[in-house]
Amino acid sequence: MSKVVIGIASGRKYENYLNWFLEVPDVEIIKLSYIDNNLESLDLCDGVVLCGGEDVHPRLYKESSYVEKYQLDDFDERRDDFEWRVLSYTQQYKLPLLGICRGLQIANVFFGGTLIPDIPSFDKPDHAKYREGKDRYHQVNVTKNSRLAEITGAETGEVNSAHHQSVAKVGKGLVINATSPDGIVEGLERKERTADSYLMLVQWHPERMTDGQSAFSKNIRDSFLESVKTIKK
């Protein structure tokens, strides 16, 4: 079979995502970025990955007042706008989509959801990195009968954590597939599953987990690629 072509929307630590996918044979990567202004490259892609990075600007979910209220300052609105168009394309042409961390957040907003702008400000435990830059690790509880449950074969697991925003209202057509013990949404997927509608959104970073063989890392990548290959056939 010919190579599958995956578009990765460029962000911070892009090389982590690139290397994670290049561990698998017969995968070609196209870097998608507003800097390169290469939205047309989506025509060559069999699937798309949205990566971590800056906060999603609250204007996209009609809460611009959050910027001052929670002293938010880590944005890239050009990236927001570019990835919004990427999302539009994936939905129009039914491309498999994997969203990681910020990728989950902007996808949720795209589908009409909202975000908690700063988790500690809402009296929830800190989910950000430790000060020395290492990811936190914590348990997640997987929703029974979800696609994520099928992918991981697990009811619980341990994942890494490096974020201060999270899902508030869930976007239309999406359902929660994992939560942390303190109630933070850790994953989303489509409510209605079909063979040509793969969408997996996770709040953790499977591309850089300490245990690369974990079902919450390897299985997620493999299920995404299997969906891409199935549609490509």
CA distance 97 to 174: 13
Q: Does 164 qualify as catalytic in the annotation?
A: no
Among residues 127, 163, 164, 205, the one annotated as catalytic is 205
Q: Does 205 qualify as catalytic in the annotation?
A: yes
Edge-to-edge strand ranges of the sheet holding 185-190: 27-32, 4-9, 47-50, 97-100, 199-202, 185-190, 174-179, 136-142, 156-161
Among residues 45, 51, 57, 101, the one annotated as catalytic is 101
CA distance 185 to 176: 7
Token reading at 31: 């870097």
Among residues 83, 186, 189, 207, the one annotated as catalytic is 207
The catalytic residue positions are 101, 205, 207
